[in-house]
Amino acid sequence: MTVLGIETSCDETAASICSDGKILSSIISSQIIHSSFGGVVPEIASREHERMLNSIVSNSLSDANLKLGDLDAIAVTNGPGLAGALLTGVSFAKGLALGLNIPLIPINHLEAHIFVNFLADPTLEYPFLCLLVSGGHTQLWLINDMEIYELLGETRDDAAGEAFDKGSRILGLGYPGGPQIEKTAQYGNPNAIVFPRGLMDPDSLEFSFSGLKTSLLYFMDDFQETPDCRLPDVAASYQQAIIESLSEKLARAVEKNGVKTCVVAGGVAANSRLRLVLKNRIKNVRILFPDLEYCTDNAAMVSFLGELKFKKSDKSNLLFSVLPNLKLN
Ligand code: KG4
Ligand code: ZN
C-alpha cells in the first residue's frame, strides 16, 4: 500500500510517501525564519505551514512519481507539538482524505521517531530499549512490542535538545543549538571544563539539565578566551556533560533490562559525538541510530509508521483532534 505522511508539529513542514515499507520521497522545509528570534515562534510556524503545505505535498508526490489517486491512505502527526502548527497539518490531511475518500491515520510524533529505527534495520526485534532525545523530550523507554511501552526514566526539567538550544544561545551560537554546538565543539577539548552532570546517584534513570545550563551561564559571566580555554573548549565541555549524562543512564538501563538492542531516536540522535560515546560506553549490545535525515523532524517517519499502523488495524476516523501534550502511553 502507498501512504502519504504529513508532519507539522513544530517548525518543519514535511511530507513523504511510503510504499510497502520503502520511502519513495521525503520533503522537508525547515522554517529558518525562526532563527532571527532565537527559537520557534508558534504563530509564525502555523502560518508558514499553511503557506508551504500544498507545494510540499505536491513535491513529495512528484518525487515519488505518483499522483493523488495512487494514495491508499494518509498519515498525519496529531501530537505532541504546537497546537496551531499541528492543526494546520491535521486540517489539511482531513480535507485531503475526505476529498480522496481514503483512510486517515493519526500519528504520535514520539512513536514515529522511535519506529523510524525499523527503517535503519528492518530486522530490529522486540524488546529493545529506546533513548528518545528531542527538543521537548528526554526519555528512556522499554519497547516490548508495538503499543506496549514502559517508561523507565525521563528528564525532571529540560530536555537534552533544549539543553543544546539554551546552551547555544548562551554561547551566542544561534538556533537550532544542537548542530551549532556540535560544529563548534569539533575543535574543542571536551575535558577543558568540568560542568556538572545531574542526578548521578547510582540507581537513577532520570535526567536533569537545568543545573548544567545555569552553570554555563555563570561560567560565561566572566569568560575571556585564552590559548588554554577558547569558545570551542567551552562548547565541547558542555556537549560532553550532556552526552555523558545520556550515555550513563542508557548504560544503566541496558544493565537492568538485559536487552540485546538499544535504539536512539529524536533530533539529538544526529549528534556524532553522542554516537561515538554511546558505542564506546555500551559494549555487547547493538546500538542503532536512524539515518541522519530521519533523526530531526521529518515525514518519512510518519508515512512509515502510518503504513505499519494501518496494517495493524485498518480503522479510519476523521474525528480525532490535535493533542499538543500527547504522551507515548
Ligand atoms: O526531533 P526534533 O527535530 O524535534 C522535536 O521533536 O523536538 O529535535 C530537535 C532538537 C533540537 O533541540 C536540536 O537542537 C536538537 O534536536 N539537535 C541536535 C542536533 N541536531 C538537532 N542536538 C545535538 N546535536 C545535533 N547534531
Ligand atoms: Zn521530533
State the Cα–Cα distance between residues 142 and 126, nearest whole angstrom: 9
Which atom of ligand 1 sits closest to the CA of residue 168? Answer: 14
Is 325 contained in some domain?
A: no
Whether residues 190 and 109 share a domain: the answer is no
Pocket test for ligand 1, best of 296, 301, 326 (most atoms within 8 A of CB): 296
Q: Is 268 in the pocket of ligand 1 (CB under 6 A)?
A: yes
Residue 174's domain comprises 123-294
Domain CATH code at residue 187: 3.30.420.40
**CB atoms closer than 10 angstroms to residue 221:** 7
Whether residues 63 and 193 share a domain: the answer is no
Q: Is 164 in the pocket of ligand 1 (CB under 6 A)?
A: yes
Q: Is 106 in the pocket of ligand 1 (CB under 6 A)?
A: no
Whether residues 204 and 275 share a domain: the answer is yes
Q: Write down the pLDDT at residue 22.
A: 98
Q: Is 178 in the pocket of ligand 1 (CB under 6 A)?
A: yes
Whether residues 80 and 133 share a domain: the answer is no
Whether residues 255 and 151 share a domain: the answer is yes
Whether residues 150 and 276 share a domain: the answer is yes
Whether residues 287 and 235 share a domain: the answer is yes
Per-residue pLDDT tens over the stretch 27-72: 999 888 878 887 888 999 999 999 999 999 999 999 999 999 999 9
Point out the ligand nearest to the CA of residue 265. Answer: 1
Cis peptide before 80 (omega within 30 of 0): yes
Q: Write down the pLDDT at residue 221.
A: 94
Is 321 contained in some domain?
A: no
Is 214 contained in some domain?
A: yes
Whether residues 136 and 279 share a domain: the answer is yes
Per-residue CA distances from 156 to 153, 168, 182, 243 (Å): 9, 21, 24, 17
Whether residues 192 and 95 share a domain: the answer is no
Which atom of ligand 1 sits closest to the CA of residue 137? Answer: 7
Which atom of ligand 1 sits closest to the CA of residue 159? Answer: 12
Kindly state the helix (H) or strand (E) to which residue 15 belongs, with its residue range: strand 12-19
The torsion angles phi and psi of 261, rounded to 5 degrees, stand at: -135, 140
Is 323 contained in some domain?
A: no
Q: Is 161 in the pocket of ligand 1 (CB under 6 A)?
A: yes
Whether residues 303 and 290 share a domain: the answer is no
Q: Is 79 in the pocket of ligand 1 (CB under 6 A)?
A: no
Which atom of ligand 1 sits closest to the CA of residue 113? Answer: 1
Q: Write down the pLDDT at residue 217.
A: 97
Q: Write down the pLDDT at residue 4.
A: 98
Is 228 contained in some domain?
A: yes
Whether residues 184 and 259 share a domain: the answer is yes
Q: Write down the pLDDT at residue 19.
A: 98
Q: Write down the pLDDT at residue 107.
A: 98
- Domain count for the chain: 2
For the record, the C-alpha cell of 203 comes out as 540507581
pLDDT means per 10 residues, the chain with 329 residues, are 98 97 96 81 92 97 98 98 98 97 97 98 97 97 97 97 96 93 97 91 93 97 91 98 97 95 98 98 95 98 97 85 96
Whether residues 133 and 230 share a domain: the answer is yes
